[in-house]
């Protein structure tokens, strides 16, 4: 009983940070009280196909498959994995991790594998796009599997299945990019300066992130060039070093480079050093908080990095499936993109980054 109340305390704290969620918290507490005094069948009627599952029977372990993104332990994935593991441990969930190297086709294949296993819940990412994922979500729901999402949104699917637990935990992609762009302007960009936005422009949805940077820079009068990230760079960001070094050689008047790719952010200091640039010669705006990125911020090569709080992108989706399975709580849309890390605040956050939490 003590453990149950501790778990519910974690849930209440997490939910109350969301505007408008007080009612959902109250409902969850009421259902908990009801389940101690009556059979779960007295709490809710038998659900239709598009309604959330019956509450789980006490003592049954919930099984969740979760797409983590990159490679196990890499800087853009570690904190997400740690957050998911923390939620699973707190809630008694069996967590099965899936790593795709950010390959959309691998994500699709892993989703199919997870559906075949018929777990209680599956956490997916939106990189393959809604056309590729919707029929698979339909299939999972027909089997009674709770599906939710993180990191890259699927807004139409979320709207379709929100009542049965499909939520989102991650940054608003365009808003996150725009915040990065405004931070780059604040770092010293002037009207008429030239900037490059290097990112994944060819993926549906994903391109909203670099578009946000571009919009913010252009709003300040900066002249923006774009360059698409190829699949080999997406999988191994070190491949970006010769590409960007060559770009800077061909475009010596480039005053800034922006990206919303975490692993590319981490190698940008190497790019600038290879191009013979001193810290501050080129203003850099990036994303995530890998050790290499933090070193880049401390050395002055990176002016700002968007903090999308990956730990929460791991914790909240696992919690979402638990809330829906246990208490039929609908999908919560949680924006984890809350700010940027700059030379002014990096010292305070660095210890948590080293622990794989931020």
72 backbone dihedrals φ, ψ, rounded to 5°? -55, 125
For residue 14, what are the CA distances in angstroms to 9, 38, 197? 9, 27, 35
CA–CA distances in Å: residue 156 to residues 48, 98, 130, 159, 194:
21, 24, 7, 5, 36
**In what side-by-side order are the strands of the sheet with 223-228?**
223-228, 194-199, 254-258, 283-287, 304-307, 339-341
Q: Which pair of tokens denotes residue 320?
A: 């979402």
pLDDT tens readout for residues 312-321: 999 999 999 9
- For the beta carbon of residue 143, count every other beta carbon within 10 angstroms: 10
Cα(310)–Cα(308) distance, rounded to whole angstroms? 6
Confidence of residue 170 (pLDDT cuts 50, 70, 90): very high
Band (pLDDT 50/70/90 cuts) for residue 298 is: very high
Q: How far is CA 68 from the centre of its chain?
A: 9
Task: Strands of the chain (E only): list them.
Answer: 63-69, 94-99, 121-124, 146-150, 168-170, 194-199, 223-228, 254-258, 283-287, 304-307, 333-335, 339-341
Mind listing the pLDDT tens digit for each residue in 101-132?
999 999 999 999 999 999 999 999 999 999 99
All domains of the chain in start order, with CATH: 2-171+311-337 (3.40.50.2300), 173-307 (3.40.50.2300)
CB crowding 74-99: b at 16 or more within 10 Å, else e: bbbbbbbbbbbbbbbebbebebebbb
Measured between its terminal Cα atoms, the distance across the chain in Å is 32
What is the pTM (predicted TM-score) of this model? 0.77
């Amino acid at each position: 009983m003590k453990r149950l109340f501790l778990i519910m305390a974690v849930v209440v704290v997490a939910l109350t940070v969301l505007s408008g969620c007080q009612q959902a918290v109250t409902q969850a507490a009421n259902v908990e009280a009801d389940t101690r005094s009556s059979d779960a069948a007295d709490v809710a009627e038998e659900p239709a196909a598009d309604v959330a599952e019956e509450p789980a029977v006490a003592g049954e372990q919930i099984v969740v498959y979760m797409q983590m993104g990159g490679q196990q332990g890499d800087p853009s994935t570690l904190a997400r994995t740690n957050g998911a593991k923390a939620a699973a441990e707190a809630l008694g969930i069996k967590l099965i991790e899936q790593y795709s190297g950010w390959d959309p086709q691998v994500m699709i294949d892993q989703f199919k594998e997870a559906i075949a296993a018929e777990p209680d819940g599956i956490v997916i990412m939106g990189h393959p796009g809604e056309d590729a994922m919707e029929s698979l979500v339909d299939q999972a729901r027909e089997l009674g599997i709770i599906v939710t999402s993180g990191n890259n949104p699927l807004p139409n699917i979320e709207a379709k299945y929100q009542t049965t637990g499909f939520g989102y935990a991650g940054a608003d992609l365009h808003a996150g990019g725009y915040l990065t762009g405004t931070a780059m302007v604040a770092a010293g960009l002037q009207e008429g300066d030239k900037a490059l936005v290097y990112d994944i422009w060819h993926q549906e949805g994903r391109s909203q992130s670099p578009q946000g940077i571009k919009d913010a820079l252009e709003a300040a009068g900066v002249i923006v060039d774009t360059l698409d990230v190829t699949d080999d760079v997406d999988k191994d960001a070190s491949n970006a070093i010769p590409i960007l070094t060559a770009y800077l050689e061909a475009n010596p008047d480039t005053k800034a480079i922006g990206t919303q790719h975490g692993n590319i952010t981490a190698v940008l200091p190497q790019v600038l050093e290879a191009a013979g640039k001193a810290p501050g010669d080129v203003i850099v705006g990036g994303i995530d908080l890998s050790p290499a990125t933090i070193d880049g911020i401390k050395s002055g090569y990176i002016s700002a990095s968007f903090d999308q709080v990956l730990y929460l992108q791991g914790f909240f989706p696992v919690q979402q499936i638990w809330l829906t399975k246990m208490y039929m709580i609908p999908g919560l849309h949680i924006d984890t993109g809350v700010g940027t890390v700059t030379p002014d605040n990096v010292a305070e956050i660095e210890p948590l980054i080293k622990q794989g939490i931020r």
